Amino acid sequence: MTNSTEGRAPFRISLCASARHGSGKSTTSDAISEKLCIVSAISAKLARQNTGHDVGDGQKAMVDRFAERKGHENGSRSHPPNCVPLFTKAGRSWNKDTMEIVILVKPFWKTEVDMGRLNNKTAIITGGAGGIGSETAKLFLKEGAKVALVDLDQDALNDVAETLEEHGKVVVIAADVANEADVERYVQEAKEKLGGIDIFFNNAGIEGTVAPLTEQKVEDFDQVMAVNVRGMFLGLKHVMKAMGESGGSIINTSSVAGLSAGPGLTPYVASKHAVVGLTRNGSAEGAGQNIRVNSVHPAPVNTRMMRSIEKGSRPEDAAAAKAEYEKRVPLGRYGEPNDVAQLVLFLASDEASFITGAQYVVDGGMTT
């Protein structure tokens, strides 16, 4: 394999696989396959470092075949469950005459669980029985986290938990996020059952009634504010206390309605703008304890909430209302819960360790 880049001499990477840390010279079929596997596992990084060129992923099928064969040798039909072949460098030498890097590597198995972006972390998700909450929970679990789901409806929580248990540890806690005693309880219970709190997806929210501002009822306004603002505030207050000096990541769910107007949804729009203020102040006060606080701002997403808004907008033709909303999105469609969950996963992970106080849109271009 030869690569070159402008201003640099060509070089070659020779990959010598051995389980015995030998001389690196092998003619067995396994060693040949191992060498090909290593191209996928190691060469890409070396190529980037030495030439600025990327090595493609064309060796993936070879990696899969190698994994399957090694599994057969161990008496099974495939590689160990939930495992992937990885390689550790055992040595390296440099030949100045041939411009050759010789790398000796040793194959080993590593479980996928150990590779999760949230491995050994714990998370609370409010609004856990809803579309975005449950989808985020599934993603967190697959990435190695333990999750506590919080929602008002115990039966709905139980139903969601049944679909998630195969992916990891799930705790369900019925609570009213607008009630401070309930918030203190769910935080304490999650901390005890999970062993701590590293991540808080502060996600519970309601849409309120669709109506012109002049026709909005005070009681409807108060209900939206109770859940979307007081609930958000109480979650921040008690989770930040529980995180303490150990730090953590908090992601607040706002909306594109927290960044712009939304006629017909004044209480909701006001509440989602308030989330921005809570996020910014929370990030400023939490930074000293390494608590990061960010907000996500979805456009319309295919969930129960949008079905309710569509029906409220056009009671006689909700499908037409959906079509109208979709036209407002440059990408021409609603988001899906997983679109939001992927962004939340990033902000929850260590990959976002220097990000706090920020507002992240996931809106198909709606706010551009």
Give CA separation, 204 vs 134, 176, 232, 322, in Å: 11, 10, 8, 23
Task: Determine whether 334 is an active site residue.
Answer: no
Enter the tokens of residue 4: 């070159």
* Active-site entry in 186, 268, 334, 360: 268
d(CA 117, CA 198): 13
Write the DSSP assignment of 269-297 as a string of letters.
HHHHHHHHHHHHHHHHHHGGGTEEEEEEE
Q: What are the backbone angles phi and psi of residue 61, rounded to the nearest 5°?
A: -60, -35
- CA dihedral (221, 127, 301, 338) in degrees, to 10, reads 160
Quick one: which of 11, 1, 24 has its CA closest to 91?
A: 24
Q: What are the backbone angles phi and psi of residue 77, rounded to the nearest 5°?
A: -85, -15
The residues that are catalytic are 268
